[in-house]
Amino acid sequence: MKSFIAYLTEISPFAQWVARNAEKRKAPATGSSRSPFPWMMRANTVPGWWHPTKQWFTFAHGKGYHVTHLVNNLSKFGISEKELMDAAAEEASRAFWDNDTRKKRGHKIVDAEHVIRMIHTEEIDNSFPIMMLAYKRGWLRAYGGKFHTGDFGGTIEGTDKKSMKAAIREIEQSAAMVGIDDIRIDVTERKPTNGYFPKFAVLNSKFKRDAYMRQ
């Protein structure tokens, strides 16, 4: 007797994609010989940085922001000091800091070094130019665990679609391992331009996740 998957492959090109994708998503996510990110934590969501092939890491709420841990762990991301300072200079040049008015009033302007100091002291909780250094290397800003809605799953943000799909596969596998059927994955896609409004997606059903994986 033919298996259900074998039967599907004879029906249509779309069914063939479904069959291939089903088999693919049974396999471990790329680089997942390590343990998975704590996507199924039964407490509040856990923040961290995730990558499809490099070792992910988490940090406690109230112990810095994603950008703080990026700046404090450049070697984990493969980012050089020069790249960091160039990105900090780009952050300092943003209109938000209004350096022209600061000069007129005799105040100290915000430069690259000031940006880094403010990140260390947690006066800055985000910086698109600096976060992009990680995003363009396939890293994702991540949260895993239990949403305020009671759903389990994760929140991922980045620019690399392959990384996002790998994370979705890992989240689905993590849910299957602990017997959780209903999961939620919030996705924020960004482009490598500061003026780009991000694209959001709430993948709270298998239908929606399958549709995203086909993109």
Distance CA 127, CA 143 (A): 18
Taking residue 199's Cβ as centre, other Cβ atoms within 10 Å add up to 10
Lookup: tokens for 207? 């239908």
Task: Give Cα separations from 93 to 1, 90, 111, 208 (angstroms).
Answer: 67, 5, 8, 39
Count of all residues that appear for the chain in the document: 215
Q: Which residue has the higher pLDDT, 116 or 41?
A: 116
CA–CA gap between residue 52 and residue 139 (Å, rounded): 8
Structure tokens at 160: 């690399």
Q: How would you class 127 by CB atoms within 10 Å of its CB: exposed for 0-12, middle for 13-18, buried for 19 or more?
A: buried
DSSP state of 46: E
Of the candidates 143, 136, 86, 95, the residue with the CA atom closest to the CA atom of residue 116: 86
Residue type, 169: R
CB distance 132 to 86 below 8 Å = no
pLDDT digits (tens, 9 = 90+) for 100-152: 888 888 888 889 999 999 999 999 999 999 999 999 999 999 999 999 888 99
Radius of gyration over alpha carbons of the chain, in Å? 20
Rounded mean pLDDT, 8-33: 46
pLDDT, position 194? 61
Amino acid identity, residue 35? S
Q: Tell me: the pLDDT tens digits for 43-73?
A: 788 999 999 999 999 999 889 999 999 999 9
What pLDDT score does 170 carry?
Answer: 97
For 161-175, how does the pLDDT look when each residue is reduced to its tens digit (9 = 90+)? 999 999 999 999 999
